[in-house]
Amino acid sequence: MKPPTPGMLAAGLVGVTVFTLMMVGPPGSYTPPPEPQSTGPAPSSISVNGFTLTSDTVDLPIDEQQYPDGPHADVINANCTSCHSASMAMTQPVLSADQWKATVTKMKDVYKAPVAEKDIPAIVDYLTAMSVAQDGAPTGKAQDTAPGTAPDVSGGTG
């Protein structure tokens, strides 16, 4: 018996390939399981060829993905938006610089946030300034009035 020629080998290979492709089926022939029926008010939807595209609107109370512009906003946006949106920090009560530092340290040590040590002061500065600006007046410490603007309560000279 003669050994198979390269041509015969090639033909066999093509045959096996075609057979395999026939068993697998053409790309896109996979049919996803049917969508579970949703309850509640029906959102607007459109059905084409068994696919249903639905459009729905959800109003979140606070939807700030990024920290608003300000000094060091770029640093905090680079470090603090990968796991949760900015609203996580924007909804905190007014905190002192030390308290913010503790939060940032917790993110880093407990939740393994990849925050560079050198970025922490900038982030704490941003958060402290944001926190105070957002709430108007800082709590805790009595408000100092700038010199010169204090009302004159001395009763005058005469």
Positions touching ligand HEC (CB under 6 A) are 79-80, 82-84, 88-89, 92, 103-104, 106-107, 111-113, 115, 123, 127
45/139 with CB nearer ligand HEC:
139
Residue 150 CB, shortest distance to ligand HEC, in Å, is 36
Residue 141 CB, shortest distance to ligand HEC, in Å, is 21
Residue 139 CB, shortest distance to ligand HEC, in Å, is 17
21/106 with CB nearer ligand HEC:
106
72/89 with CB nearer ligand HEC:
89
127 and 100 in contact (C-beta within 8 Å)?
yes
CA angle 79, 84, 90 (to 5 degrees): 85
For residue 121, which of 105, 136, 134, 109 has the smallest C-alpha distance? 105
Range list of β-strands (E), 7-149: 44-48, 51-55
Amino acid of residue 121: P
